[in-house]
Chain A
Amino acid sequence: MTESTEKMTGARAFIECLYREGVDTIFGYPGGVLLPIYDELYDADIRHILVRHEQAAVHGAEGYARATGKTGVCLATSGPGATNLVTGIANAYMDSIPMVVFTGQVPSSLLGNDAFQEANITGITMPITKHNYLVQDANDLPRIIKEAFHIASTGRQGPVLIDLPKDITVQEIDFYYPDKVNLRGYKPTYQGNLQQIKKAASEIGRSKNPVIYAGGGVISSEASKELREFAEKINAPVTTTLTGMGGFPVEHPLFLGMPGMHGTKYANYAIQESDLLIAVGARFDDRVTGKLKAFASNAKIIHIDIDPAEISKNVKVDIPIVGDAKWILQKLLKYASPSQSEAWIKRIDHWKKDNPLYYVEPATGDGIKPQYIIEQISEACKDAIIVTEVGQHQMWAAQYFRFSEPRTFITSGGLGTMGYGFPASIGAKIARPDKIVFDIAGDGSFQMNSQELATAVQENVPVIVAIFNNGYLGMVRQWQELFHDKRYSSTCIQNSVDFVKLAEAYGALGLRATKREEVRPAIEEAIASGRPTVIDFIVECEENVSPMVPAGAAINEILDLEKKE
């Protein structure tokens, strides 16, 4: 088909390009300048998910991308439609998610004139996209779309935006879809330097206290299997970041849990006392490292990353290896011999036994502990896809769900976007209809995009929203409790809405659990219903996420917040 030079409009070419990129679903919201494209979509063999707010379109596309590894696609009109995408684009950029974002634009002749619904979206999104385009000639459109999908899905993945002036969509062109892209400034490195790999392998053989610190790069390079084999071969414990969760099975004896601010004590102790830290597709975020000067100060650091700019950006690296995590782990598997970690593993096992994640059940048996809900969801459907909003519930999900496979934990890591989870869960469920999909939500976060209940019902997407309703913006309240003398300034959101009635008003199923014994039945009823469902779990309102490392402290300076009970 690439030889075709059929005449067609830009709007028709847009559809043809999406076909060639294998796009079956897009998330969008129409508008005046997009009418030619929406007219073509009317007959196209592409599922269009009509969201209720453009922000949900971009989060939906991201959920779709994270659940599958495919490039997510979304579409919004010019001006406010485009600017409503900005948070979602920034989110995808921070978490390196492959995505192509299309925005409508006023006709070229009006560009720069402050025309109705004009916004300079390429200018606005320059710092939050991997690349972006303003199409100035419809003849360039197929090449630009080809390039955009290539850029979004290769190297360090990320969002690419294409701005489409209305006249481009009606201009007639000779359609030709290129086979290859030719970008002389863009040549990602996939194969790591063999000498560096061998150097790393010999460090591993010498090390006594190694720790593997794996991030979202393991998920995006589909390297979970290699990570597991590597950890087992060199006999090193593995800690995964928030976005790396699912990249290593939680039940595995070498698993340490998450590091950093709300990581396990033993993950943090292990990092701090390691003599060799092997970072794989992780970027040393401040929520992981805490006080940089004190981070893994006795360790040599091997850093495997596809983005050279991540090397020594935050933490000085001893052995950098730039390339694809999967490719490099395969080579390390070949060259590395086991570390000398027998005593270290025993020591870590002691730490694990002495410092488990735990919570204290209330004496009366009435209140629901949020951690208990996560455990129950985990037991009820171990292989569910867990999507989260942002806040305490997000950390509890990361701490207590027993993840066993990649692409089953979808969360806003870098940007921390409240309102992300519900639309992302719709995207994930559309991508993986075979999976049960939960959106673990706070009552605050859910209200940022609860209007998407209409989308879930209209599109018949049976996601389950589990609201951890504590009447507070919980994580901020926790900080106020700990660092601002319990002065809960503007974090109390009681009397907000009856979530059961809200669900019912949209045509979804609404359930409520106020006692511990109601938790599991509610989860099971939601799963059995096959309908979009909201479960309003009334949880203990001043429960804290524990353990916690205060911002700016070293990661082994841990507050144990449960001990107060």
Chain B
Amino acid sequence: MRHTLAVLVENKYGVLSRVAGMFSRRGYNIDSLTVGVTDDPTISRMTIVVMGDDDVLEQVMKQLNKLIDVIRVSDLKSEESVDRELALIKVNSEVANRSEIMQIADIFRARIIDVGSKSMIIEVTGDEGKITAIEQLLKPFGIKEMVRTGKVALRRGQKNS
């Protein structure tokens, strides 16, 4: 099972390494990890997606909490939170198939952010399923390069996480 954790950490040198090191030392696999500063410049927020059963989740959260630079760890249950990923997909495109690709982008509410003579770059945001779906549809044209940010997530409603 995949779990999404929101981890607030001190915005300091070496903190990412401490967090990543904890995972590797204890044999937990990180599916994705995103980091960015919050509205408080002294605090960064990591969104970490980790695979494992409930026991693994419990240990990961406890071990993260043990790190001095970790301020708070929250488990973001999917029904209580919203999450997004951003992907940039550079796809082969000729004049002949350009409109077809643009139609696909339109359906997925993606944006064309660069057009070249032989390729286009499509920017798409959404949950993992949506990005996987557009990727599958673009594959027949030939994906030259692709990058995904990994998940960012926030809990719904008033409560901070």
Q: Give A residues with C-beta under 8 Å from B.
A: 122-123, 126-127, 130-131, 134, 136, 151, 183-186, 307-309, 311-313
Contacts and interface: CB of A to CB of B under 8 A. Distances in A.
Given A122-B14, A126-B21, A127-B21, A313 B59 contact: yes
Contacts of A123: 17
B110 to A, nearest CB: 39
B133 interface: no
Nearest to B21: A126
B25 A312 contact: no
A185 B18 contact: no
A309 B63 contact: yes
B66 interface: yes
29 contacts: A122-B14, A126-B14, A126-B17, A126-B21, A127-B21, A127-B25, A131-B67, A131-B68, A131-B69, A134-B13, A136-B13, A151-B68, A183-B68, A184-B10, A184-B71, A185-B10, A185-B69, A185-B70, A185-B71, A308-B62, A308-B65, A309-B59, A309-B62, A309-B63, A309-B66, A311-B62, A312-B55, A312-B58, A313-B59
Interface residues of B, number: 21
A490 to B, nearest CB: 30
B75 to A, nearest CB: 15
B43 to A, nearest CB: 9
Given A122-B14, A127-B25, A309-B63, 4 more contacts: A131-B68, A185-B9, A309-B59, A309-B62
A185 B9 CA distance: 8
A131 B66 CA distance: 10
A134 B17 CA distance: 14
B81 to A, nearest CB: 22
A185 B43 CA distance: 11
Interface in B4-55: 9-10, 13-14, 17-18, 21, 25, 55
B67 A185 contact: yes
A130 B55 contact: no
A124 to B, nearest CB: 11
A400 B47 CA distance: 53
Nearest to B58: A312
A136 B18 CA distance: 18
Contact of B66 (A126, A136, A307): A307
Nearest 9 Cβ contacts at the A-B interface: A309-B62, A131-B68, A185-B71, A127-B25, A186-B68, A185-B70, A308-B62, A126-B21, A309-B63
A297 to B, nearest CB: 18
Interface in B53-111: 55, 58-59, 62-63, 65-72
A307 B59 CA distance: 12
Contacts of A134: 13-14
Nearest to A122: B14
A309 B55 CA distance: 11
Contacts of B66: 307, 309
A120 to B, nearest CB: 10
A309 B61 CA distance: 9
Contacts of A185: 9-10, 67-72
A184 B25 CA distance: 25
A130 B63 CA distance: 12
A463 to B, nearest CB: 35
Q: Report which residue of B66, B69, B70 has the largest number of chain A beta carbons within 10 angstroms of its beta carbon.
A: B66
Contacts of B68: 130-131, 151, 183, 185-186
Contacts of B69: 131, 185
Contact of A126 (B18, B58, B59, B63): B18
Contacts of A184: 10, 71
Nearest to B42: A184
A98 to B, nearest CB: 15
A127 B22 CA distance: 7
Contacts of B25: 127
Contacts of B72: 185
Nearest to B8: A185
Contacts of A126: 14, 17-18, 21
A185 B19 CA distance: 13
Nearest to A136: B13
A425 B58 CA distance: 39
A183 B67 CA distance: 11
Nearest to A126: B21
Contacts of A312: 55, 58
A243 B99 CA distance: 72
Nearest to B55: A312
A338 to B, nearest CB: 34
Contacts of B70: 185
